[in-house]
Amino acid sequence: MNSLQLILKDIRYFAPVWTFASLNILLGTWVLYIPNIKENLALNDAELGIALFCYAMGILVMIPFISSINRKVGVGKYTIIGVVLFSLVFILPFWTTTYIELCISLFIVGIFSGSTDISMNALVSEVERTNKVNFMSAAHGFFSLGGVIGAGIGSFILVGLVSPKAHITIVATFILLTNLFLSRNYIKIKESEHESSETKTSILGYSPLIIVAFIAFAIMGSEGAIENWSKLYLIDVVNVTSEKVAGYGFVFFSTTMALGRFFGDGISLKFGSENTIIGGSILAIVSYLGIVSGGLYTVLGGFGLLGLGLSVIIPELFRIAGQTEGVSPSGGIAFVSGVGFLGFLIGPVAMGFISNQMGLKMSFIALLGVIIIATFLAILRKVMK
């Protein structure tokens, strides 16, 4: 918990970490209104999946360019620019009146979501390197905490009291103002110039990380699926009639995800990266069994347990990737995170198509199957070492 204390006691570290929370506060608010937007535009699950894919495409479009932008503009300056623009454009999907408008607006949101996400991670990495501190894991914990704040406050306070348009406007304004105030603590930070003498690694050079990358694909695919489909699952499969209660699945998932990330470093230190990954994966299997077979309380408990299980896996996969012999740390992490991010993008879209053909419950059973495969591969990798 030292990293958490560091963040809470020093505004120099809290300021960049707040950008992590900010993005997921907005995403958590969006999750609350996906069923509302789906109903207003009379969309089926496949159409909604395509709309979410437009958001993913917006993210993908920016990935090749953001590194150059950060170098030219400055990682601190672009982080605040990205947060401000992300806050403003996230209002657009709530004002759409046609399916085409929804897809276009989500594509625009994706552009600033992806670029801001990369910049804020680079910003924290630069602060860590400059000040010789370590708080990246806790920063991702704040991202999860942002989902709790966004979905939680919306479920308990604002949903039903204000319109969706007013709700997102209030939240976006809050995010914009708080980040503008805090940005003075990092706006002048630029990435250090690094000259590397290492040769570029070919695709074959990453072969020791193929299993690790698949596990990342499965875990991040689950994260993306839960973020976008948990509320609909409670409404369509569990038959929850209360909008507030239907939002609790994502709230529980995000809460335990945040807690797991805050304590994950200590767990890893005690049990090791491989055992932590296997243990988290087994916990995820148990969670999905509860989600696909239980009533309301079992499903909500399953979402909470799932967040706890998944939370500890991705940081450990990155740790392994950065320590793999024959692969540069930065190259290994980039390879694993890239494949994992692909899962995060594909997961929600695949869920929509499976749901449209066989029902939403079958989509979650498919997620269970993918996690079982990932767990088997994690055990196999440990045995083969």
Which residues make beta-bridge pairs with 162? 159
What pLDDT shows up at residue 199? 41
> If one looks up domain 1-188 in CATH, what number appears?
1.20.1250.20
What are the start and end residues of each CATH 1.20.1250.20 domain in the chain?
Answer: 1-188, 204-385
Question: 222: closest CA among 37, 356, 322, 371?
Answer: 371
Structure tokens, 384: 């083969």
Predicted confidence at residue 364, as pLDDT, reads 94
Superfamily covering domain 204-385: MFS general substrate transporter like domains (1.20.1250.20)
3-state helix/strand/coil string of the chain: CHHHHHHHHCHHHHHHHHHHHHHHHHHHHHHHHHHHHHHHCCCCHHHHHHHHHHHHHHHHHHHHHHHHHHHHHCHHHHHHHHHHHHHHHCCHHHHCCCHHHHHHHHHHHHHHHHHHHHHHHHHHHHHHHHHCCCCHHHHHHHHHHHHHHHHHHHHHHHECCECHHHHHHHHHHHHHHHHHHHHHHCCCCCCCCCCCCCCCCCHHHHHHHHHHHHHHHHHHHHHHHHHHHHHHHHHHCCCCCCHHHHCHHHHHHHHHHHHHHHHHHHHHHHHCHHHHHHHHHHHHHHHHHHHHHCCHHHHHHHHHHHHHHHHCHHHHHHHHHHCCCCCCHHHHHHHHHHHHHHHHHHHHHHHHHHHHHHCHHHHHHHHHHHHHHHHHHHHHHHHHC
pLDDT at residue 316, rounded to an integer: 82
Q: Which stretches in the chain have pLDDT values below 50?
A: 194-201, 330
**pTM greater than 0.85:** no
| pLDDT tens per residue across span 330-346 | 456 667 777 887 788 78
Q: Are 8 and 14 in contact (CB under 8 A)?
A: yes
* pLDDT tens-digit readout, 298-341: 999 999 999 999 988 987 887 787 667 776 554 566 677 778 87
The pLDDT assigned to 196 comes to 40
> Nearest CA to 285 among 200, 342, 369?
369
Query: Which residue type occupies 238?
Result: V
Distance of alpha carbon 29 from alpha carbon 49, whole angstroms: 18
Nearest to 35 by CA among 292, 311, 320, 247: 247
